[in-house]
Amino acid sequence: MQKELYFDISSEEKGGSLFRIKKDDGSFSFYYNHSIYDSRKDEIKVFEDYFDNFESFWAALIKDKEWFYLHVLFVHSEQREFVREQLKNVNWNIHPNKKWQESHQRQWKKVLSDPANYYNPQ
């Protein structure tokens, strides 16, 4: 099995890395290694979830109504246009601080325009 970074996102309280797994038969699945930090207990919980496709992962991610305020680190080039379209429908004003909004918007723009091999240079 081959594992390839596909999506990476985080914050102080939670985040994770999604990997695309190429199986021996040539099909793909997705593995999401993610964690949640509880600062009151100073406790980290780590989770592993598997998805049949990116759409299933995406549905789980956006259950957090503020997913776009997480700090994105990487989006695979195959999903960048999809993510750009998704970002057109978010309500950045849920946080009134303009600088906070602009900071996150810049991060999304940067990651969505990074070289496709940013994490895996040849």
Residue 108's CB is within 10 A of a number of other CB atoms, namely 17
Q: What pLDDT is recorded for position 115?
A: 78
pLDDT in tens, 31-74: 999 999 999 999 999 999 999 999 999 999 999 999 999 999 99
Phi-psi region of 33 (alpha: psi -120 to 50; beta: other; left: phi over 0): beta
Of 48, 25, 19, 29, which Cα lies nearest the Cα of 120? 19
Q: State the Cα–Cα distance between residues 113 and 36, nearest whole angstrom.
A: 28
Q: What is the pTM of this model?
A: 0.90
> 12 falls in which pLDDT band (50, 70, 90)?
confident
84, containing H or E segment? helix 80-87
Residue 4's CB is within 10 A of a number of other CB atoms, namely 13
> 4 falls in which pLDDT band (50, 70, 90)?
very high
> 106 falls in which pLDDT band (50, 70, 90)?
very high
> 85 falls in which pLDDT band (50, 70, 90)?
very high
> 119 falls in which pLDDT band (50, 70, 90)?
low
pLDDT of 121 above 60: no
Residue 13, Cα to own-chain centre: how many angstroms?
14
Q: State the Cα–Cα distance between residues 52 and 91, nearest whole angstrom.
A: 29
Residue 116 has which token pair?
């496709």
The chain-wide mean pLDDT, for the chain, equals: 92
Long-range CB contacts (< 8 A, 24+ apart) of 18-23?
Answer: 18/57, 20/76
